[in-house]
Chains A and B, each alone.
Chain A
Amino acid sequence: GNSVTQMEGPVTLSEEAFLTINCTYTATGYPSLFWYVQYPGEGLQLLLKATKADDKGSNKGFEATYRKETTSFHLEKGSVQVSDSAVYFCALSDSEEFQGAQKLVFGQGTRLTINP
């Protein structure tokens, strides 16, 4: 079945450091890929997405490129801020409809802490 594997956390960085959170996936077909962010005590917010190979999703300084050859979708940011502290989830959706709805498969999440 489809699965997502994320870099284990927690990850702790200093402000303005470069961030990479690794994400690899296993899927049949041609999934769409997503990064969601969860701030403490809140629901998930979509951070960025890519729907086909070589697409680059970007938002708020974060980027991720859909690499079909390496089945990866690593999240990067050039200079992190304290406000980026959160849990980040990589997810995929199968391109085939899941009985009419869209099933998302999530990684286990990576907790990121940025120190000033």
Chain B
Amino acid sequence: DGGITQSPKYLFRKEGQNVTLSCEQNLNHDAMYWYRQDPGQGLRLIYYSQIVNDFQKGDIAEGYSVSREKKESFPLTVTSAQKNPTAFYLCASSMKTSWSYNEQFFGPGTRLTVL
């Protein structure tokens, strides 16, 4: 089955530590995205990537970093510089057609809690 996997489902981190969230897709999608979701709020874009070895900052990139070494993988690192990292993190991907990108498909999410 094609899809997007995120691991782990739950993650706990001590203050001051960096942590990396995994996102893998086997849909052969070109673009991948990271979103943050806080209670009662919509999703906010952290980073996105349209091609291997290239990525762009979204609306709330401060305190986060990403890499795109393979088409199917787009890990997100939450650094100690992120002041309020406790949130639900969602990864998504989309395929580029000849004229646009199709809808985004989402992974199941990782809930990060800073202790």
Contact = CB atoms under 8 A, between A and B. Distances in A.
B44 to A, nearest CB: 8
A23 to B, nearest CB: 12
Contact of A101 (B31, B103, B109): B31
B2 interface: no
A93 B96 CA distance: 14
Interface string B85-115: 0000010101010001111111111000000
Interface of B: 4, 6, 31, 33, 40-45, 48-51, 56, 58, 90, 92, 94, 96, 100-109
Please tell me the size bucket of the interface on A: 20 to 34
Contacts of B104: 46, 102, 104
Interface stretch (A13-21, A37-45, A64-72, A74-82): A37-45
A36 to B, nearest CB: 8
A103 interface: yes
Contacts of A97: 100-101
A106 B42 contact: yes
A45 B43 contact: no
